[in-house]
Copies of this chain bind each other. A is one copy, B any other.
Amino acid sequence: MSEVYTFGIKSGQPTALINITNEVQNVIKDSGIKAGICVIFAPHTSAGITLNENTDQDVIRDFVMETNKIVPISDGYHHIEGNSAAHIKSSIVGVSQTLIIDDGRLLLGTWQGIYFADFDGPRIRKVYVKIIEG
């Protein structure tokens, strides 16, 4: 019960949304827990966890394009590492999601997938998953 599950992912572009639904479903399946909630957490300040459409990749492409318009890569920022836009997107999208487990699986809508959003790739990143039974 008190375990924290971890898996790694690798992003290939400066902004990359990676579908991690299967990884999280497998964590839940392996835990044997049938009902409860799970917290999916990115221990990073220039990435996020979000849910969005799992079918047409143009939704993800549009998300990347539009968030780069909303939070431009360069915009007179002061942070010397040059990745302020990634930090800001991280706070807008959020670094965790809390989902429902039912019947041994994540309870998701038909079109929902879970994405790790790397806003400052390419990098190797980590995801933590914590399950609470109930």
Q: Which residues on A are within 8 Å of B, measured CB to CB?
A: 1-2, 4, 34-37, 39, 41-45, 50-53, 56, 58-59, 61-63, 65-67, 69-71, 75-81, 84-85, 87-88, 90-100, 102, 107-112, 126, 128, 130-134
Evaluate contact between A94 and B94: CB separation under 8 angstroms.
yes
Instruction: Report the minimum CB–CB distance from A35 to chain B (whole Å).
Output: 4
Number of copies of chain A assembled together = 3
Instruction: Report the minimum CB–CB distance from A45 to chain B (whole Å).
Output: 5
Residue numbers in B under 8 Å from A59 (CB-CB): 45, 79, 84, 87
Given contacts A52-B45, A75-B69, A133-B134, are A97 and B100 in contact (CB under 8 A)? no
Shortest Cβ distance from A113 into B: residue: B45
27 contacts between A and B (CB under 8 A): A1-B35, A2-B36, A4-B100, A37-B132, A42-B109, A43-B108, A44-B111, A45-B53, A45-B112, A58-B78, A58-B79, A59-B84, A61-B79, A62-B79, A62-B84, A63-B91, A66-B71, A66-B77, A66-B88, A67-B88, A70-B70, A70-B71, A92-B92, A95-B112, A102-B130, A107-B128, A132-B132
Shortest Cβ distance from A36 into B: residue: B132
Shortest Cβ distance from A72 into B: residue: B66
